[in-house]
Amino acid sequence: MKERDALAPTEELPEDAQLYTTQPSIFMDTTPESYPDGWTECLVSPDAKAFILSQPEFPAPLLRPSALQYRLSPTPDKGLGLFCTAKIRANDLILSERPLTLTPTSSSTRMRFLKELDAREQYLAATHEWEKSLKFLFDRLYPDYQAAFMGLANSHKHDGSGLVGGIIRTNGLGVILPPNKYSLEEQQTRRKGVYSAVCKEISRVNHSCSPNTTAHFDVITFSFQLFAVRDIAQGEELTLTYTDLKAPAEMRQSDLEPYGFHCTCSACATSCTSDALRERSMTMQIDNIDDGLLKLALLEEQGLESSGQYCKTLETVMELYIGIGDADNASTCAKKLVNRRWSSLASGAKLYTSPLAIEKFHPLWKGGGNRDLERGADNLECSFGGLELGQAE
């Protein structure tokens, strides 16, 4: 009953080293039946592993929804997908699971290439070596997990990715570890700290440019959590985005080509008008409350509730209400932010979910607010997201 991959020292390893590690650590005879929360086979840097193990509450038990509200079923043109079996309300947790694997998004293989190899041949040689590393990780998976992994789609069968690498590239969800250590430029150009997680269930969620869910990685539970970003009707397919929602339709289609499908969602089908509306909703400046409410409405119209812009705009509207001394509407905005548990802004809004707390604690509240931030219209009875502003929730 030796413990597998416990607190192995990482201090003396070089920063660019990659470690095979099982997280959370398990006993050698652990099975999915004896440990339903599961575990992940990881290939990570020493600092990523150290960050994971430094979390005081790691590993916390998985959060679970009150009932299973989805099923795996065939789609007309996208293979298998997840569908609602009952109405799911906005912000509800749909499912949470620990990934099967967690791997770097770029190869750390070091090779000396023969001078006569061209760029394509060097790429294939490096990919072949990287596949060996990934295959070693795959062999560490529990047999049931191996079967689940191999049951996922592979849209990279003909580009030299290898079997394991192809499945990871097709189904991976992005994770940054450690968070906040590397700049955005380092993440994008050198792939520093950027990992790809493959999940048994969430990796089967198909793409939409107007997704109705968002996936959030929680380090404490070491799990991906799938949340509804708006109400989802019974029978509706659950969707995530695989691309940058701020990009125009033509660029999004180009990004999706490696997945082997052409997106036919409503935003792509009406790209002539949708592109302009998306750009406006993502880039418009907010000078007053009316601007903020309009921006929220535009984001909802385009199905962009999963974007960071939505929560940031909600926070801005909250602060504008505080600025004019309207604690009731400000607290309503705070409640909406807190309910969006996947957002980094949610925790900061917890203190302001009651008007009294806003008046007592918020730094922008100055004895009734700053009337210089008066909104552009007199009517406060504006609504967004099915929630009346002008009334406390």
Q: Do 304 and 266 touch, CB atoms closer than 8 A?
A: no
Task: Report how far residue 26's alpha carbon sits from residue 145's, in angstroms, rounded to the nearest whole number.
Answer: 15
DSSP letter at 250 equals H
- Among the listed residues 132, 72, 63, 59, the one whose alpha carbon sits nearest the alpha carbon of residue 94: 63
The packing angle between helices 308-323 and 327-339, to 10°, is: 160
Domains defined along the chain, listed by start: 3-240 (2.170.270.10), 270-388 (no CATH)
Mean pLDDT, range 266-272, rounded to an integer: 90
This prediction's pTM: 0.87
Q: Mean of the pLDDT values across residues 201-209?
A: 96
Residue 212 has pLDDT above 70, yes or no: yes
The identity of residue 126, as a single letter, is A
Using pLDDT thresholds of 50, 70 and 90, give the confidence band for residue 115. Answer: low
Retrieve residue 278's tokens. 């998306």
For residue range 119-143, what is the model confidence (pLDDT) as tens digits?
777 778 888 889 999 999 999 999 9
Nearest 5°: CA angle at 245, between 98 and 200? Answer: 20
Given CA atoms 244, 245, 248, 253 in this order, what sign does their dihedral have? positive
Packed helices 271-283 and 249-256: angle between N→C axes, nearest 10 degrees? 100
The Cα-based distances of 20 to 9, 49, 135, 232 in angstroms read: 13, 10, 12, 39
The answer to whether residue 189 scores a pLDDT higher than 70 is no
Q: Is the pLDDT reported for residue 328 higher than 60?
A: yes
15: its two tokens = 């920063």
Q: Is the pLDDT assigned to residue 393 strictly greater than 80?
A: no
Q: What is the CA radius of gyration of the chain?
A: 23
Contact predicate 269/281, CB 8 Å: no
| Confidence band of 114 (pLDDT split at 50, 70, 90) | low
pLDDT of 5: 61
Determine the number of helices (DSSP H) and then strands (DSSP E) in the chain: 13, 16
pLDDT reported for residue 345: 94
The mean pLDDT of 342-359, rounded to a whole number, is 93
Give the torsion sign (CA, 370, 374, 378, 383): negative
